Chains A and B, each alone.
Chain A
């Protein structure tokens, strides 16, 4: 029971975090009505996960062997692109907000590409979705005795736990001031996306499409990435006990690039913290 609880909670953790963030984001910028994009994205992802789970169970042959790898890679790099875009967008708005003394983001401005957060919801849910569907399916076919029911109850608890976590993130995020919310989530998204990017590069190495793959260091004695704590950290910030050179490089390069995109004010001293920015933005270029 405990084991299935942890499995489902872990699979649903990243999705819950992302959904909580984007729902809170929409509340923060004063566009709660755009939640339908997120809900639609999440719902479509659940449907796609079920289709994929069924497809993997029914199909076989080279397509079934290669297909999941290709889809996983597309989803990983797609999610990185979306999160980068979102972080950049938030950083840009945070800068605007500073200039406008924490005024809410201009409605017409922000509604421009809000459907994109629906795509973030989609990738967040779909990434581990098919696996979770297959796992739950396996549990349901096993209900013959009490342990079967207990396992299913554990899984349901895990799912509820993930939903609760997303709800906490949403409630917490909604209560933060706009600026702090943008700061905290940009930071979180930056590490999440760096972990995803590095994981994508690692996948390519694992498949033999990129050279190398031998570990640069080994911290599995300290924190094993197959364990529960290490596994959560792996999902959250891309922790690896034995990262390859390319993975470390990808992680660091992404963090540096995203840092500049997400926190422009840190890198451009011209924009100050407390509003009253009087000099034109052009002069502040580094």
Chain B
């Protein structure tokens, strides 16, 4: 029993420790606002600095959920209607990266890192 308690305490401590840097890093990166409106990303192309992590802050103004996804950048996040969701993106090499709304593939956006 005592071992069980110790184990769960340890597990809780570990998960808190794991979450701390996330919460911390969450507040740091440059925020790039994007809106989903009428099934389109606006702006459809955003510029970021290469070599610096950033966050896409996506606001969904439509009545339908959008799933902002990039297999290349490994993010996949649902933005419910009327909500704003922040998506962390790692530091990128200069280049163009595509993301799509996985619920509506005709809606695509680009990140240009330079």
Chain A interface residues toward B at CB < 8 A? 3, 7, 53, 56-57, 60, 62, 64-66, 68-70, 72, 130-131, 134-135, 137-139, 141-142, 199, 202-203, 205-208, 213-215, 225-226, 234, 240-242
Contact = CB atoms under 8 A, between A and B. Distances in A.
B75 A206 contact: yes
Nearest to B97: A242
B47 interface: no
The 7 closest A-B pairs by CB, nearest first: A206-B74, A138-B64, A138-B65, A57-B80, A134-B65, A65-B86, A202-B74
Nearest to B86: A65
Given A65-B85, A131-B78, A206 B73 contact: yes
A131 B67 contact: yes
Interface in B56-109: 63-65, 67, 69, 71-78, 80-81, 83-86, 88-91, 93, 98, 100, 102-105
B78 A213 contact: no
Residue of B53, B69, B71, B104 with most partner-chain A CB within 10 A: B71
B22 interface: yes
A218 B35 CA distance: 29
B85 A62 contact: no
Contact of B72 (A62, A64, A139, A215): A215
Given A56-B83, A138-B64, A138-B81, 20 more contacts: A53-B80, A56-B80, A57-B80, A57-B83, A65-B26, A68-B77, A130-B78, A131-B78, A134-B65, A134-B78, A135-B103, A138-B63, A138-B65, A138-B80, A138-B103, A142-B64, A202-B74, A206-B73, A206-B90, A242-B71
B109 to A, nearest CB: 12
Interface residues of B, number: 37
A199 B75 CA distance: 10
B54 to A, nearest CB: 10
Interface in B1-47: 19, 22-23, 25-27
A206 to B, nearest CB: 3
**Secondary structure of the A side of the interface?**
helix
Contact of A135 (B67, B75, B88): B67
B81 A208 contact: no
A145 to B, nearest CB: 13
A205 B53 CA distance: 12
B105 A3 contact: yes
A242 B78 contact: no
A66 B23 contact: yes
Given A134-B78, A225-B71, A66 B19 contact: yes
